[in-house]
Amino acid sequence: MCRTTQLLLAIAAVAGLVFAAGCSTGETESAKGYGDCRVYGKAGSISLDSTAPGVLTLQTTLPSPGWWKGETPETITGGYEYCLAANIAHRAGLDTVQVKNVSFDALVAGQTKDYDIAMAQISVTPEREKVVTFSEPYFDSNLGVLAPSDSDIAAADLADRKVGVQLGTTAVPWTKDVLSPSTEPKLFQDTTSMVTAVTSGITDAAIQDTAIMLGFAKNSAGALEVVGQFETGEHYAAIYPKASHNADAMNDAISAMRKDGTLDKLSGTWLGPELGGDPAAVPVWHVK
């Protein structure tokens, strides 16, 4: 064997060791059934009795930029919440995540069925806890104010403007009880129609979670802006079917992902770039 051949084999052996060391970190490339998601941690480290064999059935409300890459269940390939579910599936040894699009109002009212977990930027409230089982929180959230970019709207006069909110969200009671607008807020069935109302001038502003509003502002070609946000102390958590026997295992997975940095990696990959801005950089307003 010549020295050149020996050298090449030695290099290949070192490369193999480096590759093996890289694999030992617990990070893997995207896998079949997980779209563009990277998955982390040990496969099969938790045990789930899923609704469908080998599949994690996931409910959400689409579209939701940053949180979900794609606008229909068939086109979803990534996003913070989708990839969070993919990581749960990976740790449970499940090969596929199946997405189902449902009404947000029905979801938080505990009216949907046949799923393992639901994620749709859902804030934890005592009222919702009566009808659904919440997971460990995975994200902190404030309420953002979406308005036309050329608007002069401010915290001081927001209560005197025409405001839109989405049915079933925590923005509804907050707007009515805390902001106390001079005119009744306009209610919308979904986020898209609420945002369209701002663009068309039907309302002056929309109030919804800051991270969600940033995604729509980014996709408005400069027409819309998140001009301010109100601190509410809210947290996002997943929903399980009431009395789910998988809750403890999935909570363990979410807690582990917080500790091992997986949640931070998901946020860095999907929220900052996709939303076009850091939620923490939006000015904090106070009710006047």
For residue range 274-287, list pLDDT tens digits in order.
Answer: 888 878 789 999 99
Q: Which two tokens stand for residue 9?
A: 């084999």
CATH placement of domain 10-140+234-279? 3.40.190.10
Q: 107: closest CA among 48, 49, 169, 173? A: 169
> Is 194:61 a contact under the CB 8 Å cutoff?
no
CATH of 142-233, one of 3.20.20.370, 3.40.1160.10, 3.50.50.60, 3.40.190.10: 3.40.190.10
Task: Name the helix (H) or strand (E) containing 272.
Answer: helix 272-275
> Is 42:90 a contact under the CB 8 Å cutoff?
no
- Across the strands, what pairs with 195? none
> Is 51:252 a contact under the CB 8 Å cutoff?
no
Under the banding of pLDDT at 50, 70 and 90, the label for residue 21 is very low
Q: Which two tokens stand for residue 178?
A: 């805390």
Phi, then psi, of 35 in degrees rounded to 5: 60, -130
pLDDT tens-place string over residues 189-229: 999 999 999 999 999 999 999 999 999 999 999 999 999 99
- Across the strands, what pairs with 236? 123, 139
Q: Which residue's entry shows tokens 């393992």?
A: 116
Q: For the chain, where do the domains classified as CATH 3.40.190.10 start and end? A: 10-140+234-279, 142-233
pLDDT tens-place string over residues 79-107: 999 999 999 999 999 999 999 999 999 99
| CA–CA gap between residue 11 and residue 43 (Å, rounded) | 30
Predicted TM-score (pTM) of this structure: 0.72
Q: Is the pLDDT of residue 169 over 50?
A: yes
> What is the overall mean pLDDT for the chain?
88
